[in-house]
């Protein structure tokens, strides 16, 4: 079974923006003991249409870093990567295609209690269903 968030983490790794899943990139989990990281969190999707094998999924990208400039820069680099194609569809790997629809530009969410800066943005992702 495919997993959209793993496919995005691997796409970010291929483009040298993260080191890997569970290293500095996490899915639906924000570990407290790692200062500099990227978290991809899926939230409520758009309703699916019966008989159509694709849907619009919703993902929030969060970048946390002890350095405010590094947090902002990485958020914008990921945003630019997701906004880099004019054709629409991007292949994250040999089988997973997506269409990124950026819903916001990166913005500063604030700092946590350990003085780490957080930047976020949201993206709608058209792709096939994971059970394919």
CATH number at residue 77: 3.30.2000.10
* Number of CB atoms found within 10 A of residue 98's CB: 22
Domain hosting 104: range is 4-128
Q: Phi/psi of residue 123, each to 5°?
A: -140, 135
Residues in the chain: 132
Instruction: Name, in order, each residue with C-beta under 8 angstroms of 81's C-beta and a sequence gap of 6 or more.
Output: 11, 12, 15, 17
Q: What is the pLDDT of residue 131?
A: 64
Query: CA-to-CA distance for 5 and 8, rounded, in angstroms?
Result: 5
Query: CA-to-CA distance for 72 and 33, rounded, in angstroms?
Result: 20
pTM of the model: 0.92
Per-residue pLDDT of the chain in tens (132 residues, 90 and over written 9)? 589 999 999 999 999 999 999 999 999 999 999 999 999 999 987 666 676 778 899 999 999 999 999 999 999 999 999 998 767 789 998 889 999 999 999 999 999 999 999 999 999 999 987 765
Number of domains in the chain: 1
Q: What is the pLDDT of residue 95?
A: 86
């Amino acid at each position: 079974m495919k997993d959209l968030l793993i496919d995005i983490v691997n796409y970010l790794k291929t483009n040298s923006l993260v080191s890997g899943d569970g290293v500095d990139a996490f899915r639906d989990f924000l570990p407290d003991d790692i200062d500099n990281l990227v978290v991809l969190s899926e939230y409520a999707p758009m309703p699916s249409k019966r008989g159509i094998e694709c849907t619009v999924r919703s993902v929030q990208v969060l970048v946390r870093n002890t350095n405010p400039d590094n947090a902002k820069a990485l958020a914008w680099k990921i945003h630019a990567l997701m906004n880099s194609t004019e054709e629409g569809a991007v292949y994250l790997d040999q089988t997973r295609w997506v269409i990124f629809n950026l819903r916001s530009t990166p913005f500063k969410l604030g700092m946590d209690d350990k003085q780490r800066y957080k930047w976020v943005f949201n993206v709608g992702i058209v792709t096939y269903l994971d059970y394919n």
